[in-house]
Amino acid sequence: MKSFDLQVKNVSKSFGEKAVLKGIDVFIKDGQFVTLLGPSGCGKTTLLRIIAGFEKADAGEVILSGEVISNKSPAHRPINTVFQSYALFPHLNVFNNIAFGLKSHKVPKDEIEKRVNAMMEMVNITDLKNEMPATLSGGQKQRVALARALVNEPDILLLDEPLSALDANLRKKLQVELKEVQKKTDTTFIMVTHDQDEAIAVSDRVLVMYQGAIVQDGTPEDVYEHPVNRFVATFMGECNILESERIADKLAKVAFGELVLEKDPQWAATTEGANAGKCCGGIAIRMEDIHVCTPNESFENNVFDARILERIFRGDYWELIAELPGVGNAESLKLRVMTDPDEIYNPGDNVKLYMEPQYLQVLDD
Amino acid sequence: MQTEVFEGKLTTRARMRKFGVLLTGPGMLWLIVFLLLPTIFLMVLAFAQRGSYGSINWDFSFENLKRLVGFSSFGWSPDNLLILWRSLKIAVVTTVLCIAFGLPMAFWIANHGKSMRAFLFALIMVPSCTNLVIRTSAWMTLLGPDMFPADIARFFGIIGAGDSLYPGSFAVYIGMVSSMLPFAVLPLYTSVERLDWGIVEASRDLYAGPIRTFYHGILSQMMPGIIASVILTLVPSLGMYVISDLLGGGKYMLIGNLIQQQFGAAMDWPFGAMLGSVLIICSVVSLIIFQRVGGKNFV
């Protein structure tokens, strides 16, 4: 049983004037499924390419099991890549595409035969053995690309937006398969994606990247439920962000009243402008975490009057736009609320909304 | 017709298929009248005989084919077959050299910015706008005994003290390659532009060395362009005789010269037709062989 771990140490990279990566530090343990998640231009693909060896970092090191590999060519790294465009060899059939890496290493013929066949079986493409890449569908190409990389038994498999070119249904199916293959082969997978649903569905660990830095590192549940800042909160799905001011321990003032929190916000005091001296920041709450009270429900605190403005059918749920009147001279605020399909509220209805303290996520900014 | 296009009647796929075919009519007619019929006529004529004073005697036999392979009233001579062999050799070598020089040029041009690329293409194409004979005469002068290329060659001991680079096979190849190269570079450049560098990276990622990566990552993708290049160089090279005539100093008799003689001085059209037919067959056969051998794994 081989054991290794990947360490990315203070890696920076610029393209011309533009700093793409700003001192990235990551430690990735054996056998994890790690996702680099972020919007386009956040540097996730560049980081992947530096790990693969296609780009050279301006500063910092890539260390695999204690050995610095930053200066090794991709051919000499025990790392293989599944490319976004699949990059299958157009002149080789499926078998020879998968066998390519083994042939480069001059593995004996019968062993190549055995390993390629086993790999084709694992990803369910045995019947495509003699097909040429041009005749394959997107999903089939994706499987061939996966098999072609995995057959070399790499320490780490890198996947560059592997499912982005596929339609939604197939993507979901392949996400499950990808996860299964990762478990079966017990290989470390590092996947780049801009799709937060995909990241949450397959990963053991999500690294959220923004503007060349890792802004949050945690399990999918962590990153979704406890976003650290506005960017992560909004990037990880629909989210209401309430501008607030700390007024007492675990108590914050928002436009429509006062909110009791579970955790005291650690906001720094503002030094300039109208809010100087106050501790202000954002509080996030997901639309599924806002509860619409039934007439006979009552809660101690965090219950607010609201009026339904709009109702949008989303298939498995209703999305409501609720208006919460401002207190004092504050303007009213519109929040997005999610309700079950059988709970019908109409525009114009007056309701009470409850926000449970544990779902109110205090953000860093 | 034009109003129809504006109404969108011709722009649907089905209509284009149905009526668009009519538009190929003039082109088709042209090809049939000026290419297909003359070729058939040529191949029929090849089996006729020369009459007195260059007239054609429609007396069908294989006499011309026998003459071509060397049998005459004086017995057998290899001359014609040697000419044919020499023509093939020069054409094939020229094509190989054009591809070998054209590949790096194509990459080099593709590596430049847009405006620079246009300029470089202009540089490549401008000489082709000059008349072939004038261009070749320029080479004759340039490769003469008193010019600097000869001095350089003499300095390195490639040629002896009194020798020159022209006339000779070196001069012939210089002339052939320089006039064919632009036609080889254009399709190669197009395929360099279309290269998916991800496949090159994939090859490196899968442990391939430089040679293996060049073959599987780059050449495999460029094969359609290479085939186009070969066709565009090989076919004209086979029929080319002006360059070899001028730069070879009259010693390089090619099939083109021989054909020209038959239709000119010798006034033996049927034998010329036989030579021409054999040249066409040689071109087609060599292209088929090339596609089978070179393109087998690719296309």
Query: Could you read off the pLDDT of A35-65 as tens digits, one per residue?
Result: 999 999 899 999 999 999 999 999 999 999 8
A95 pLDDT band, cuts 50/70/90, is: very high
pLDDT value of residue B148: 84
Taking Cα atoms as reference points, which of A232, A234, A230, A261 lies closest to residue A247?
Answer: A261
Amino acid (one-letter) located at A298? S
Cα A216 to Cα A231: distance, rounded to the nearest angstrom:
10
Amino acid (one-letter) located at B78? P
Q: A83 at the B interface (CB within 8 A)?
A: yes
pLDDT value of residue B9: 58
Q: Quote the tokens at residue B208.
A: 């391939």
Average pLDDT of the segment spanning B19-42: 88
Q: A93 at the B interface (CB within 8 A)?
A: no
Give the tens place of pLDDT for each residue, A164-206: 888 888 899 999 999 999 999 889 999 999 999 899 999 999 9
Q: Are strands A79-82 and A156-160 parallel, antiparallel or unpaired?
A: parallel
- Name the closest residue on chain B to residue A154, using Cα atoms: B206
Q: B297 at the A interface (CB within 8 A)?
A: yes
Give the tens place of pLDDT for each residue, B230-270: 989 988 898 888 888 888 877 778 888 888 888 888 888 89
Average pLDDT of the segment spanning A206-219: 94
Looking at the predicted complex, does its ipTM rise above 0.90? no
The distance in angstroms from the start CA to the end CA of chain A is: 45
Residue contact B223–A91, C-beta within 8 A = yes
pLDDT value of residue B1: 44
Q: Do residues B202 and A81 lie in contact, with contact meaning Cβ atoms separated by under 8 Å?
A: yes
Residue contact A89–B216, C-beta within 8 A = yes
SS3 A319: strand
In chain B, residues with a C-beta closer than 8 Å to the C-beta of A89 are 199, 202-203, 216-217, 220
pLDDT-wise least confident of A166-175, B38-47, B148-157: B148-157
In chain B, residues with a C-beta closer than 8 Å to the C-beta of A54 are 201, 204-205
Residue contact A81–B204, C-beta within 8 A = no
pLDDT value of residue A248: 86
Pure H helices in A76-137: 94-104, 109-122
- Considering only CA atoms, give the Rg of chain A: 25
Residue B204 pLDDT greater than 90, yes or no? yes
pLDDT value of residue A165: 83
pLDDT-wise least confident of A85-89, A323-327, B8-12, B13-17: B8-12
b/e code A22-41 from CB counts within 10 Å (16+ = b): eebebebebbbbbbbbbeee
Q: A321 φ, ψ to 5°?
A: -105, 115
Residue pointed to by tokens 């005994």: B145
- Name the closest residue on chain B to residue A55, using Cα atoms: B201
| DSSP symbol at B163 | -
pLDDT value of residue B39: 93
In chain A, residues with a C-beta closer than 8 Å to the C-beta of B298 are 90-91
Question: Which are the contacts of A302, defined by CB distance < 8 A and separation ≥ 6?
Answer: A259, A260, A354, A355, A356, A357, A360
Cα A238 to Cα A324: distance, rounded to the nearest angstrom:
18
Q: Do residues A293 and A353 lie in contact, with contact meaning Cβ atoms separated by under 8 Å?
A: yes
- Name the closest residue on chain A to residue B219, using Cα atoms: A91
Give the tens place of pLDDT for each residue, A336-353: 888 888 888 889 889 999
Q: Quote the tokens at residue A112.
A: 């190549």
pLDDT value of residue B286: 81
pLDDT value of residue B242: 85
Give the tens place of pLDDT for each residue, A279-292: 888 999 988 888 99
Question: Which are the contacts of B212, defined by CB distance < 8 A and separation ≥ 6?
Answer: A104, B203
Give the tens place of pLDDT for each residue, B67-124: 888 887 777 888 888 888 888 899 999 999 999 999 999 999 999 888 999 899 888 8
In chain A, residues with a C-beta closer than 8 Å to the C-beta of B199 are 87-90
Taking Cα atoms as reference points, which of B231, B196, B230 lies closest to residue B216?
Answer: B196
Option in A76, A91, A100 nearest B206 (CB): A100
Q: Quote the tokens at residue A33.
A: 């499924």
Q: B221 at the A interface (CB within 8 A)?
A: yes
Give the tens place of pLDDT for each residue, A247-281: 888 889 888 888 999 888 888 887 777 777 788 88
Examine residue A341 and say whether the peptide bond preceding it is cis (omega within 30 degrees of 0). no
pLDDT value of residue B184: 92
Cα A70 to Cα A303: distance, rounded to the nearest angstrom:
55
Q: Quote the tokens at residue A308.
A: 């339904």
Closest Cα of chain B to A83: distance in Å? 7
